[in-house]
Amino acid sequence: MENKIIIDQFIENAFQLKEHLAHFLSIEQIELDKFLENAKLELANLHPGDNLIDCADFYKDIVGDKHLADLAAWHISSKEYIADTLKLQQMFSKNLVLDFGGGIGTHAIANALSDDVEHVFFVDINKTNREFVRYRSRNLGLGKKISFYNSIEDTNISKFDTVVCLDVLEHLSNPSDQLETFHKIMKNDSNALFNWYFYKGDNNEYPFHIDKKDIVNRFFEVLQKKYIEVFHPILITARCYRKFS
């Protein structure tokens, strides 16, 4: 499918997101709107603050379906921004794509709709997210083009042509290690799309974001040593990289 049509389909109804949510969660439209309304605050309230030992536990065990709601509300209310990230992705995606921390599947679905993409490997630590996107991909007739994993190792793929990691790095306890891992599974001409927001917000709206100075500094050391940026003209914070060293 042509990239413009893919983006238009996202703008129209976020790839049928609301219908998918209502069906997957077995709730009526009116309850769905309530479910989405306070999603961001409810997710923030679930965070145990400094008591959390491992960041991964929050996404694996604590968020339940609240993270689905938070991500869905965000993709619906900020659809122009999300559409720009899709434009970026459609410019650079090719062949075997890793979508790391794929969330509710917007980027995986757009990639699977693209003729330039052979297969999408959707990795997310959260089982509800994986099951939701599996349901969505079957419903959209993309069941054969996306497969689902808890970790990169589970994919059994040694090299990917494209790595998509959008709005995930600030959720990891060690984002620089993640950059090292991506580096190992990229070829010399693979493209990687990254963004990050190492900030908890002016009013602690994002208590789950990592912001420790030493962790953030180490992230930039690895990024600047191992990756080189590829220019793109879209005015968003997401960047495209290739391997440098």
Ligand X SMILES: C[S@@+](CC[C@H](N)C(=O)[O-])C[C@H]1O[C@@H](n2cnc3c(N)ncnc32)[C@H](O)[C@@H]1O
Residues that bind ligand X (CB under 6 A): 56, 59, 71, 101-103, 106, 123-126, 129, 166-168, 171-172
Taking the complex as a whole, the smallest distance from the CB of residue 140 to ligand X amounts, in Å, to 17
> Which of residues 166 and 240 has its CB atom nearest to ligand X in the complex?
166
Taking the complex as a whole, the smallest distance from the CB of residue 103 to ligand X amounts, in Å, to 3
> Which of residues 56 and 216 has its CB atom nearest to ligand X in the complex?
56
Taking the complex as a whole, the smallest distance from the CB of residue 100 to ligand X amounts, in Å, to 6
Q: Which distant-in-sequence residues (6+ apart) come within 8 Å of 210 by Cβ?
A: 55, 170, 171, 172, 173, 175, 198, 216
> Which of residues 194 and 227 has its CB atom nearest to ligand X in the complex?
194
What are the strands, taking DSSP E only, across the chain?
95-100, 117-123, 146-149, 160-165, 186-194, 227-230, 239-243
> Which of residues 168 and 223 has its CB atom nearest to ligand X in the complex?
168
Asked if 91 and 103 touch (Cβ cutoff 8 Å), the reply is: no
**How far is CA 197 from each of CA 156, 211, 227, rounded to the nearest angstrom?**
30, 8, 18
Find how far residue 185's CA is from the centre of its chain: 18
> Which of residues 146 and 166 has its CB atom nearest to ligand X in the complex?
166
- Other Cβ atoms within 10 Å of 112 Cβ, number: 26
Find how far residue 235's CA is from the centre of its chain: 19
Taking the complex as a whole, the smallest distance from the CB of residue 188 to ligand X amounts, in Å, to 25
Report the C-alpha gap between 49 and 60 in whole angstroms.
16
Report the C-alpha gap between 132 and 97 in whole angstroms.
19
> Which of residues 11 and 244 has its CB atom nearest to ligand X in the complex?
11
Taking the complex as a whole, the smallest distance from the CB of residue 168 to ligand X amounts, in Å, to 4
Taking the complex as a whole, the smallest distance from the CB of residue 28 to ligand X amounts, in Å, to 25
| Residue number of the CB atom closest to ligand X | 103
SS3 40: helix
